């Protein structure tokens, strides 16, 4: 996918992207666009954007994605939603730094956790 616009939000990142295929036998190369629209990056994909950045013009390879559709009978319109859970840079770009995982809070057996106290 080629990234055309990046819109960061608190819990997700919205991208305007396109995908295309090269048309064989054309010189200079011509491309046929398969998809052009918006996708949402959530979870690990969103954290990778926060940790590494993503800019207009970058190309990404989708590792994990969910596609859903919803039909709005009142408007007689079918919506297709693309949610991306993981991605990598395309075109042999360097690997991304993985987002840091929050380590769980460790409490000794004889020690009370202040978060469990009612006051």
Digit-coded pLDDT (tens) for 5-59: 999 999 999 999 999 998 999 989 898 999 999 999 999 999 999 998 899 999 9
Confidence of residue 91 (pLDDT cuts 50, 70, 90): confident
Instruction: Please give the pLDDT value at position 29.
Output: 87
pTM over 0.85: no
| Structure token digits, residue 104 | 């769980």
Maximum Cα–Cα distance across the chain = 74
Angle (CA) 40-41-45 rounded to 5° is 170
| Structure token digits, residue 99 | 């987002």
The mean per-residue pLDDT over the stretch 70-98 comes to 85
Radius of gyration of the chain (CA): 20
Question: Which DSSP helix (H) or strand (E) runs through 49?
Answer: helix 44-52
């Amino acid at each position: 996918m080629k990234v055309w616009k990046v819109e960061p939000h608190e819990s997700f990142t919205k991208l305007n992207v396109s995908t295309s295929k090269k048309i064989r036998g054309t010189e200079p190369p011509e491309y046929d666009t398969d998809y052009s629209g918006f996708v949402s990056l959530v979870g690990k994909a969103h954290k990778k954007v926060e940790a590494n950045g993503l800019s207009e013009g970058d190309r990404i390879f989708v590792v994990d994605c969910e596609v859903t559709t919803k039909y709005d009978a009142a408007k007689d319109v079918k919506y297709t939603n693309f949610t991306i859970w993981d991605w990598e840079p395309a075109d042999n770009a360097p690997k991304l730094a993985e987002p840091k995982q929050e380590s769980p809070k460790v409490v000794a057996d004889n020690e009370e956790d202040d978060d469990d106290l009612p006051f």
